[in-house]
Chain A
């Protein structure tokens, strides 16, 4: 490669290894969004109050929209069909983080997970705006706007639950204790990703994690009165899933797989 670190790149400029690395990251990002949107969507018709039912359905739709953006970035690199990737891969082929697979739990778990995730996505997107891969920089700027609002919403709920009643505080702490061991996986380098970070194509996940720890740790401790333990390691890679993913995909993919040749929906 003759390009210097300041030049922006498009798909045609990438080496095969860079292409593979970007495809893997876009798929991981999309899978996080798809699975989280499905979990959030499970609340439709069941949220504690109508307004929040609408809010969470909106947020789930936004996350699916972000998944579409990432899958379009992938399509540009290898021509793959986003619908095939979403509806016809099994759990073993999904590359979502375990955090988003966990069952939706109570409202506190759903809101605390959303808060941890929204902060991670917003900060990753913020850094990705500076990516030398021009298509990613464009997508990041677009998705970041929505993600900032999501983060305001989930941060508000974390605070209301943490400082609400003894019962809401107990539930918020229980939720955080359940989620926290899975959070660091969001920031783990994928295999072969280090070269792309060094080349300025993808954000440095360690730097994103440091900003994230400061942001969520500060909010959870100072505004929510929750106990925030030290962040454990990322654990196994994204090819390893909890037992919760397969049943989620079975439900999510049932209609598409029952009518694999459907031309219209």
Chain B
């Protein structure tokens, strides 16, 4: 090794530094909550990466509301969410002391482990001294939940509720439906037709 060449430790540090810088070029992640009808709760449907709140909402509309329809969308920056399972709280009770702004907090719960498009439903709001307090209240209100998620109401960016925006953002999806596979034509004949006639499937393949 020549004098001045980086040591393995220095190289490792350099690599870690580069990885950190690489991560910082990523846009922040936003959790997206979608309300399908006025009678249903807002539900977490997934996340998007976006540069700012308005971009997050527009992106969410494209990714999650092409179909079926919705009436409202919220986006919450990953850093503004506090999420915990009962197991996590058992090993990390300090989560209940997570500091932050006092105010109105939205409470979401994961109520079932059944596989679904959505994982967290927003079930109400509480007044709390901070995220940790809100999490504690969420646990007290919904002791059987599989997970709790809280965020300050002020941290949510919400789609415009004006009729014009609702019409432009959400109405077009009402006319779009999922097409089942059998909607599309088949080139040649389906294999079941050959099974019925008792002939091998490859014998009479029509172009």
Contact with B along A54-72 (1 / 0, CB 8 A): 1100110010000000000
Smallest CB-CB separation from A157: which chain B residue? B55
Q: Which residue of A lies closest to B175 (CB)?
A: A142
| A37-67 interface bits toward B, Cβ cutoff 8 Å, 1 = contact, 0 = none | 0000000000001111011001100100000
The residues of A with any CB-CB pair to B shorter than 8 Å are 49-52, 54-55, 58-59, 62, 142, 145-146, 148-149, 152-153, 156, 160, 262-265
> Which chain A positions have C-beta within 8 A of B124?
none
A49 CA / B58 CA spacing, docked (Å): 14
Instruction: Using known A-B contacts A156-B54, A156-B58, determine if residue A51 contacts B48 with beta carbons closer than 8 Å.
Output: yes
A145 CA to B167 CA in the complex, in Å? 7
Determine the main DSSP class of A at the interface with B.
Answer: helix
Shortest Cβ distance from B198 into chain A, in angstroms?
Answer: 25
- Chain B contributes a number of interface residues (CB within 8 A of A) equal to 25
User: Which residues in B have their C-beta under 8 angstroms from that of A153?
Assistant: 58, 62
Give the tally of cross-chain contacts (CB within 8 A): 51
Q: CA–CA, A17 to B172, complex, Å? A: 34
CA distance in complex: A262, B164 (Å)? 42
Q: Is the CB of B168 within 8 A of A149?
A: yes
Give the distance to chain B from A156, nearest Cβ to Cβ, in Å.
6
B6 at the interface (CB under 8 A from A): no
Give chain A residues whose Cβ lies under 8 Å from the Cβ of B54. Answer: 156
A55 vs B48: C-alpha distance in the bound complex, in angstroms?
A: 12
**Which of B55, B175, B184 is the one whose CB lies under 8 Å from A265?**
B184
B8 CB-CB contact with A under 8 Å: no
Q: How far is the CA of A148 from the CA of B49 in the complex (A)?
A: 23
